[in-house]
Amino acid sequence: MPVGTVIILGGRGMLGTDLGKACRSAGIDPMIYDLPEFDIGRRDHLEQAILPGSTVVNCAAYTNVEKAESEPDLAEKINAQAVGYLAETARTRDAYVIHISTDFVFDGDLDRPYAETDAPNPVSVYGSSKWHGEQALSHSDARCCIVRVQWTYGHGGTNFVKKILELAQSRDHLKVIDDQIGSPTATTEVARVLVEMLSMQEKPTGLFHLAASGYTSRYEMARFVLDVKGIPISVQPCKSSDFPTVARRPLNSRFDCSKLEQLLGRSLADWKEPLARFVEEL
């Protein structure tokens, strides 16, 4: 069905790039906004970009988890304050918003997959800023839904898969943490789901978890990537504590995606096939 005007904020990033392609494949010609000419942190830029009755997908975010610890004000400005501006602008122009969030809103201490009803408890500046952004949008009167994603990878940006392959080019062995568990999720798959949501006659509202089906550790993910690429390198498991970082990361990033699967009327793809395809294309 016709979906009207679709606007992608952060449309040149890893997810935004694939979402733009998925939209065009579905016969939707989106309007793309991103740095340097568009700054989501500027209210006047949002007011110029958001058209009455449009659909806005916000992929724009401050995503440097480590650097956010030393730049909390900037992370908060982009991930929270700007989302509040977006909510206000969308409400006054009757625009519908899909906002992309993250597993980092959780502390990762739960012993089961996280559902949408579980209370967030971020343990990093990045996670806190994203949670504040969710609150700014959900507490507004704007028509909206929030989609949390995790462990994403794609051609348009830096990600765990590319880092592993880069390291494998210069080392004869790697140590990779095995106590962080989640679902490697291709941005192409996220984009596909978002287009399905955009095309629904009744726009979904509320909160949804979106991740590939199945779970694995970072260690097993690295081994899978190297095996697909045919790189014979030794990979040893280790703990997160062996690689201290400025920002704490959730050990359990598993999502319960049953709510989204019910909305879509289908199961989400297993993590292995999209990841193998991505690695082969690199």
Residues recognised as catalytic: 126
Contacts of 20 (CB under 8 A, 6+ apart): 8, 11, 30, 32
Contacts of 149 (CB under 8 A, 6+ apart): 15, 100, 101, 102, 103, 185, 190, 210, 211
Annotate 38-55 with b (16+ C-beta within 10 A) or e (fewer).
bbbbebebbeebbeeebb
HSE, side-chain direction, 13 A CA sphere, residue 188? 10
Beta-bridge partners for 143: 96
Beta-bridge partners for 146: 99, 207
Rounded to whole angstroms, how far apart are CA atoms 61 and 244? 25
Rounded to whole angstroms, how far apart are CA atoms 161 and 231? 13
Beta-bridge partners for 70: none
- Measuring CA to CA, how many Å separate 26 from each of 19, 192, 194? 11, 9, 11
Please calculate the CA angle 149-58-160 and round it to the nearest 5 degrees.
40
